[in-house]
Each structure stands twice: as C-alpha cells, then as structure tokens.
Structure 1
Amino acid sequence: MKDKAYKVLAKQLDISNKKAKELIDRGLVYVGNKKVKIARGEIDTKTKLRVKDIPKLDVIYEDENILAINKPAFITSEEIEKDSGYRLLHRLDKETSGVLLLVKNEEFRKEAIEAFRQGKVYKEYFAWVEGILPEETTIDLPILTIKKGGRAKSKISYSKGKEALTVVEPLEVMAKYTKVKALIKTGRTHQIRVHLARIDHPILGDTLYGGKEWDRIMLHAAKIELFGYSFESPEPDEFKKLL
C-alpha cells in the first residue's frame, strides 16, 4: 500500500501533515541515506523515514549595531530575520551554514551596504567540491541571475552578467574530493556555486548546478570582516565527518 510521503511521515511521528511536509521541503527527511525530495511523492506506507536534526542557532556577537548569527543549514535567512526582528545585511542559501549578519539601525545598515558594494567586506567560505583541485584558481566570470516563481538560478553570461570574482584555494584532498577556501570579492547570487561548477568542481550536494547528491550543500560561510568587526563560524560536524 502506498501514500504520499508527507502523510506517511505524519503518521510515523504523530505530527500534522503540514509539519511533515515542511520537514520534507526543508530537506531533512531520509530513507536510509537517500533524501526524500518530493513531499507529495508516493511511497510504501511501511517505509521507515528518518528526520535529520537541525543544530541549534547560536549568537556569535551582538551590540547596538549588529547581530552575528551562526546559521545552521536547512534554516532560511528570512526565517532568522523574522524571528530576530532585525534586518538582514546579506543572505545565505538555505543549505549554506555559517556567519549571517543582521543590522539593528538604519544608519549602520546604509554604511554596511555601501561597504559591501565597494568590495570592502572580507568574505571567506569553505566548501567540499568534486574532483581534485591542484592549485589556487581565480575565477573572473560575469554572473546573470534569473528569478522565477520565488526561486533564483544563476549562470555565466558575458553579455548580460554582472562582474563576479572568486579566488579558490585547495586546502585538503580526501578520495576524489577537495576541501577549498573561497574568497569572494563580489556578492552575486549563488556566486561560489556557479563559479565552482563552471570549472568542473561543483560543490557536493549542489544538484542545482550539477553537484553530486549529498546530505546538504557542502558550503560554509566561515568568516566575515567589516568596519573592524571580525566574525567566525567553526566548521559544522558534517564537514569534519567527511574526513
């Protein structure tokens, strides 16, 4: 006998259908090691489903101007903005973890946005990518972002794209994968993801841009510096477990 995946999960956990669908849509539900992607997809009612826990959301630093959050994967930046009551200074994709900044007053927000625009903000990411990256690489390719139906997808476009510069440095190699440090000089939507995919080293879990299926997109915002502030987020457990 079969039923929709979210209904099977709701019965197993004794939760509402709405809550069950939300867990699947977040990417937190698995059959064995395989992620359940379609909440309305039909599965055998006897299928044992597993729900991945979301790590606790921690405050890294807070003062009268800024709130720095250690964002876990599977929570959106917009949810954090809504819950905190402060405005986002930038965004991280749902499955990207790490330093997320929110601002507490309009004057500071305007100054910080200008610093981002002028490239005066240091942004350092870690990622696990497919293949062996042998040496430091600078990717200077313009990016065009197309938004449709509330979703965004970016691509390289020489005619319509905006300037985008990413410096990628290999740090470790494990089997057929490389851990890299990525420094972005600009802040285009999905910039690191698109640039790494273009050089044939897509991020693990980034199926939107050709990456291998994984528990999550293996991208982490490790460090941000601006106006004398310096915020860091330690690598999540799944980055260490890969080793």
Structure 2
Amino acid sequence: MKKKLYEIVYEDKDLIIVNKSAGLLVTADRWDSEAPRLDKILEEALLKKEPEAKIYPVHRLDKETSGLIIYALNAEAHKILNDDFQNRRIEKIYHAVSAGCPREENFKSEARLKIDGDKMHRTLIDEKKGKDSLTEFSLLKKLGRFSLLEARPITGRTHQIRAHLKHLGLPILCDSLYGNGEPVYISALKKNWRGDKYEERPIISRLALHAHSLKFFHPISREKIEIKADYPKDMASLINQLSKL
C-alpha cells in the first residue's frame, strides 16, 4: 500500500492546515530542486478545483518531522499569519522522544543559536554570535531510559528544538544531525527478544519529532482555532514499545 503523504485537517477560503508525513519537504530545497514538495503538491490539487489557486507558506517543518503545518491561500491571510508568527501569537506544540530523562518535569533552554553554523549546516550553540532563542519543555512520560517530551518553541530558529535538546543532553531519537541517527529496533530494547535479526525492521528510522498541535486565531475571522494531529504509525509504535520497558 502506498504511503499517504499528507492529510488535510482544516480548510477554508483563507488557509489550509495539513498533517504531513515524515520525509516530505514543505517548500523548496536548495540541495534537490526536483524533490517532492508539499506546497507544490497542494497547489496542484487546488488548481484542479480553482484555476487561480495559490499556496503561501507561512512557517516550516523539517523534512523528517511529521505533523501540522499551515499554508495561507491568499495574500491578506498570508500577511496576517506572518505577522502573528513574528509576534508569537501562534502556539506550536511538538512531541519528541528523546534519549535520557530530564531531572525536572518542566524546564527550558535559552541557549543562543547560530544557524547554519558548520559544514553540516547544523544550528550551533553560540552565546556570543548566536540569536536569542527560547524553548520550553515538559516531561509527558518516562519511557525507561527514554522520555516523551512536549516542546513549545517560543522563538522560531531553524532546528531550534533539536539543537536545544542536544545541548541539554536529551537528543531526539534517530536524529542524524544532532544525535547518533541510529534506527530503533526492538532487539536493542528487549534482552530476551527472540526474533530473526536479519528480518527485523526498525520501529522507527526517522527523526522522532511530531508537530502535534496548533492554537491561533483565524487571520480573517479571528475565530480561535485549535488543531491536533495524532502520532503517525511509527511514532505511536515507538512510544507503545518503550512504554513496556
């Protein structure tokens, strides 16, 4: 069965909210201009219904992050949503599975971040030249030697959650840039696992980060909107398996 790339969870004449799968770009990529892109896929679908349809990006998600993303459908909504993001009036909540456990249930990182700071284009901690950054975290559940965390980025730096969690000694599982990038296998978690290691498939092999919910006011009507996206199959399975440890 072909993997579903996205699901529309909200749509009106001004904006569209999509729950995207991991592995799909949300906008142009400087390294691969031919790679499938959510904005173009959506625009092509909308053009079949409305000849003048256009997609306006207002924020981003990393390719390997699953979950919710908003696109505006006209210039007025685009301008207002951009302003709301700039002025931190849109609440974005992410869930991540990390290696290690925090010492407190609620904590934060204010480490200053330098974007595109090395040859691997990572975001680095740089207290002198970095930009002010703030992420608030909560421990949702201990999972053995791992943790299910909620992350609330107050600022919007590239790779902010990933860089801050690495800095705190809590790298996100399967993060190839800020962690060890290794897939998670049941055989590595359970000492008495009796399966065939040559046939075993990983529980998850991509960044264990999910854009879980959005809270904001509609750019035109100013009606309050709250949207949540369930975990995709791989992340739900990961949390389920780790809960049994």
Q: Which of 210, 213, 221 is residue 220 of structure 1 equivalent to?
A: 210
Alpha-carbon distance in 1 for matches of 2:56, 2:152: 24
1:73 counterpart letter in structure 2: A
2:110 counterpart letter in structure 1: D
Between 92-101 and 135-144, the greater mean CA deviation after superposition: 135-144
1:81 counterpart letter in structure 2: D
Q: 1:68 to 1:95 in 2, by over 3 A?
A: same
* Structure 2, unpaired ranges of 5+: 28-36, 44-54, 184-204, 218-223, 241-245
Aligned residues between the structures: 191
Q: Which of 106, 112, 119 is residue 142 of structure 1 equivalent to?
A: 112
What SS does the corresponding residue of 2:123 show, helix, strand or coil?
strand
Alpha-carbon distance in 2 for matches of 1:233, 1:220: 9
Question: Quick check: which one's helix share is greater?
Answer: 1
For 1:238, the equivalent position in structure 2 comes to 234
Alpha-carbon distance in 1 for matches of 2:4, 2:118: 30
Q: Which of 103, 126, 143 is residue 174 of structure 1 equivalent to?
A: 143
Deviation at 1:61, TM superposition (A): 0.5
Contact 1:125 1:222 in 2 (8 A): yes
Between 135-144 and 151-160, the greater mean CA deviation after superposition: 151-160
Between 126-135 and 54-63, the greater mean CA deviation after superposition: 54-63
For 1:64, the equivalent position in structure 2 comes to 13
What is the alpha-carbon root mean square deviation over aligned residues?
1.9
Q: 1:146 to 1:212 in 2, by over 3 A?
A: closer
Moved over 3 A (4+): 52-56
Normalised to the residue count of structure 1, the TM-score between the two structures is: 0.74
User: 1:98-143 CA deviation, whole Å, 9 max, x = no partner?
Assistant: 0011110111111111111111110100000001123211111111
Deviation at 1:54, TM superposition (A): 3.3
Question: Quick check: which one's strand share is greater?
Answer: 1
Q: 1:152 to 1:81 in 2, by over 3 A?
A: farther
For 1:229, the equivalent position in structure 2 comes to 225
Q: Which of 72, 84, 93 is residue 42 of structure 2 equivalent to?
A: 84
1:216 counterpart letter in structure 2: R
What SS does the corresponding residue of 2:83 show, helix, strand or coil?
helix
Q: 1:160 to 1:148 in 2, by over 3 A?
A: closer
Deviation at 1:212, TM superposition (A): 4.5
2:125 counterpart letter in structure 1: I
